[in-house]
Structure 1
Amino acid sequence: MFLIPAIVLSQRPFLIPHPLLATAAPANASILLSGVLLSLVVIYLASKCGAEFSKRLDFPPVLGELVAGVVVGVSALHLVIFPESGMEASDSVVMTVLQWLNGLTPDALTNVFQSQSEVVSVLAELGVIILLFEIGLESDLRQLKEVGSQAVIVACVGVAVPFTAGTAGLMMLFNVPTIPAIFAGAALTATSIGITSKVLSELGRLKSKEGQIIVGAAIIDDVLGIIVLAVVASLAKTGEIDVTNVIYLIISATAFLIGSILLGSIFNKTFVTAVDKLKTRGNIVIPAFIFAFFMAFLGNAIHLEAILGAFAAGLVLDETDARNELDALVKPIADLLVPIFFVTVGARADLSVLNPALPENRAGLLIAVFLIAIAIVGKVVTGWAVFGQPGINRLAIGVGMIPRGEVGLVFAGIGSASGVLDKPLEAAIIIMVILTTFLAPPFLRVAFGQPEEPPANGEPSLEPAAVVNEA
């Protein structure tokens, strides 16, 4: 899963700069804090209710969090909404409560709404960074290296097949112009590792061979997705491809990931030495997060992704002697911030684009059916690209690559902002993103069957599902 490309960070609608605490009037700063706190109350209630309900129906809890996000978001209750959805401050129930309590003017309410939305978005970004750090800690670097070649092939097939089939199909079947077709095809290449890895963890399959191939392929998908996005974004702006930028991305991405792993053994000794000398609270978890956030910063700074840096940091620290204690310390922090990410993903999904009664949706629905078929088939076939692994669950690998998550929404948002995508094609991409995101968790559960049982010898399981509290 690649998540949010740094090269387009400034173009993301929910990260457009707004007045924050530093520039808000003192009174508005207090009201902004109230809005953030009330939004977090809604998000946590939705997350826990959704996860518990989903668990009782024997579905992955993350699916419940996504659905709960839809319920409290733009599609239903309007409790957690964002400006990029086209909603106004007056449409937000939380903002209405704040206006009633504080007598805000319309302009002041709009400023608070924009700032509050950005704060929640930043918290969601921190949540997914911590999630990928945790996934890195729970991954086995040695096993990840063993499946490295298979992961590369799975990722390449998972990018090439949907991109080619989607672009060609849109041009030949629907007469979509070349550049919009390429943009839509690029949106089909993404994989949302945050959603898939959480389900794998809940099923106790993260450290299975299939799980490691999925995670490895999804990380490589991130790198390839960044490159594809750089190409199509350049094409949309100028009609030409910036070859220099593409080469830079390929070299920097490869050097970053390989360099992080190679330097791991050196850093491990430094980390353990530093931890042994610290005697106050947080002597393990604080240095670990300093490293994770610094790696995330580096990933962002060289125009890759913050989550790639966080994942690499987790892989490095997984090799330290303090790994088990650190793993236990990170989980409560992840339990606090990760649900914000999943609920906001659901909250941003506007299901009104699924309404065929609206004439403007009908053309998009027809194209969406095609994109959904390509999105599913184009990733499922990746399981059959695995070689030299007799008895491996190929269907599970393919299904694990299906969810597009917020990544596809980034493509749709950039395409719309640049004027490349018309409304029907933009709606079709959004529908594809929504359905692949929500269908993947139960499909993955079916593909794997029952969660793995604990070891028969009575030893505690090392699988994440045995130790991770449900989000």
Structure 2
Amino acid sequence: MAWFYPVFATATSTETASPTLILAGVLLTLIVIYFASKVGGELCSRIGLPAVLGELVGGVVIGVSALKLVIFPEGGLSGDESLIIQFLETTANLEPSSAEKVFDTVSEVISIFSELGVIILLFEIGLESDLKELIRVGPSASVVAVAGVVVPFALGTFGLDYFFHLPLIPSIFAGAALTATSIGITAKVLAELGQLSSKEGQIIIGAAVLDDILGIIVLAVVASLAKTGEIQISQIVYLIISAGAFLIGAILIGRLISPWLVGLVNQMKTRGDILITGLIFAFTLAYIANVIQLEAILGAFAAGLILAETEKRKELEEQIIPVADMFVPIFFVCVGAKTDLSVLNPAVPSNREGLIIASFLIVVAIIGKVVAGFTIWAQPEVNRLAVGVGMIPRGEVGLVFAGVGAASGALSPATDAAIIVMVIVTTFVAPPLLKLVFKEPVPTTETETKVN
């Protein structure tokens, strides 16, 4: 998961950029994103595929791989390559000297909206989850999470080192990228399939949350290894303690103060009393998680779990839907927009080595998570294959690993491309595979069918 980007990074970065033009750029970008999400989602829904896959494909079409309507500077692109910036220059008198500053700021705003989207999605998923059920499936989820990290990491690292003769640090980085799970993508597909509240769905969500925690620790370890050549044990211990203390503490303290929050809401007389109070609570926990070097989405998920145990649960679920409808598509479209399919072109000689390594990583990525699903014991009624498939998509989480590895200089262009290809394939194959393995739909609530 990417960290937040400040809207105004420095005082000089936007001093000559007109706020009016920045707003115009943001509005145009949102128009394109919403249009792509709806067209893609509708098309996929009509052919029996999860709508989230359509949003990802819509993002690919408008992103760096095709139309270049929605692109981001972290991909090495400039404002000159953005069709939206070109449109502003033509229609809104944007000066070429200010174009790059407007492009950077618009990109940062959209990135923040994207992050808000996944935070709200995980808050909504938390509201629809049952804390007691999550605790009940906790042992199974823990085993799946640990196996889902250890198996692909070991297979990937060993395979790259032994069969492809890659240096150890790049092999470790690529192996670490295989450990990730994109909880946002899986959670949305489960909601669309009406499987979010099933035992399999709860195990997947619980394991994916633990995967995020383990992923943060693995990323910190390999980043430290690439930077200093040694592992900082103190940092690992800090992350483990802070992650456990945050989740347990947030839930325990939250359950104590939730009756007070409900009483406060009952005394309010203005519009949005439940929704705004819920968002304040979710954003507070997301902020705390973020500043202690955990993922903001973990805080939002914990907030949803806590408020799901109150009498306001159903009302809050209904009121969060329009907010999710506005922000969540931005996240999925942006994931697709940042996906560079040019790394899949075998006609480019530099891509060929990466594609060969990518083929190996894709096999390991899928097998490693499927094997993790089969580690569930003494529960013959659980669809183990569905649990494993639910852990397959790497999404934006895997891209973070690739980005950190490339920035550290530890990855060669071929290895970096291989990781990106693995992320692309696992992200796009997981939604239809999930629908395939969940052959028998369970009864769904109205809220679950509307998660977007």
What is the Cα deviation at residue 449 of structure 1? 1.6
Q: 2:265: which partner in 1?
A: 275
2:224 pairs with 1:234: yes
What is the Cα deviation at residue 410 of structure 1? 0.7
What is the Cα deviation at residue 260 of structure 1? 1.7
Structure 2: which amino acid aligns with 1:462? T
Q: 1:265: which partner in 2?
A: 255
Distance 1:265 1:133 in 2: 16
Distance 2:163 2:344 in 1: 21
Distance 1:133 1:293 in 2: 9
Quickly say closer, same or farther: Cα 1:463–1:329, change in 2 above 3 A.
closer
Structure 2: gaps of 5 or more residues: none
> For the Cα contact (< 8 Å) 1:69–1:346, is it kept in 2?
yes
2:276 pairs with 1:293: no
Q: 1:462: which partner in 2?
A: 445
Secondary structure of the corresponding residue to residue 374 of structure 2 = helix
> For the Cα contact (< 8 Å) 2:17–2:101, is it kept in 1?
no
Q: 1:76: which partner in 2?
A: 66
Q: 2:301: which partner in 1?
A: 311
Structure 2: which amino acid aligns with 1:431? V
With 115-124 and 95-104 compared, the bigger mean Cα shift is at 95-104
Pairwise CA RMSD: 1.6
2:123 pairs with 1:133: yes
2:314 pairs with 1:331: no
Q: 1:108: which partner in 2?
A: 98
Distance 1:263 1:112 in 2: 43
* TM-score between the two structures when normalised by the length of structure 2: 0.97
What is the Cα deviation at residue 22 of structure 1? 9.5
> For the Cα contact (< 8 Å) 1:127–1:338, is it kept in 2?
yes
Structure 2: which amino acid aligns with 1:255? A
Write out aligned runs for 1:411-430 (5 A): 411-430=401-420
Secondary structure of the corresponding residue to residue 263 of structure 1 = helix
> For the Cα contact (< 8 Å) 1:272–1:320, is it kept in 2?
yes
1:266-323 per-position Cα deviation (integer Å, ceiling 9, x unaligned): 1221111111111111111111111000000000011111000000000000000010
Write out aligned runs for 1:68-467 (5 A): 68-452=58-442, 454=443, 461-462=444-445, 464-466=447-449
Q: 1:457: which partner in 2?
A: none
What is the Cα deviation at residue 450 of structure 1? 4.5
Structure 1: which amino acid aligns with 2:165? N
Distance 2:371 2:337 in 1: 30
Distance 2:242 2:206 in 1: 18
> For the Cα contact (< 8 Å) 1:171–1:181, is it kept in 2?
yes
* TM-score between the two structures when normalised by the length of structure 1: 0.93
Distance 1:21 1:209 in 2: 51
Secondary structure of the corresponding residue to residue 441 of structure 2 = coil
1:369-418 per-position Cα deviation (integer Å, ceiling 9, x unaligned): 00000000000111111112122101100000000001111111111111
Distance 2:94 2:186 in 1: 42
Write out aligned runs for 1:34-49 (5 A): 34-49=24-39
1:104-155 per-position Cα deviation (integer Å, ceiling 9, x unaligned): 3433101111111111000000000000000000001111110000000000
Q: 2:46: which partner in 1?
A: 56
> For the Cα contact (< 8 Å) 2:16–2:98, is it kept in 1?
no
The aligned length equals 452
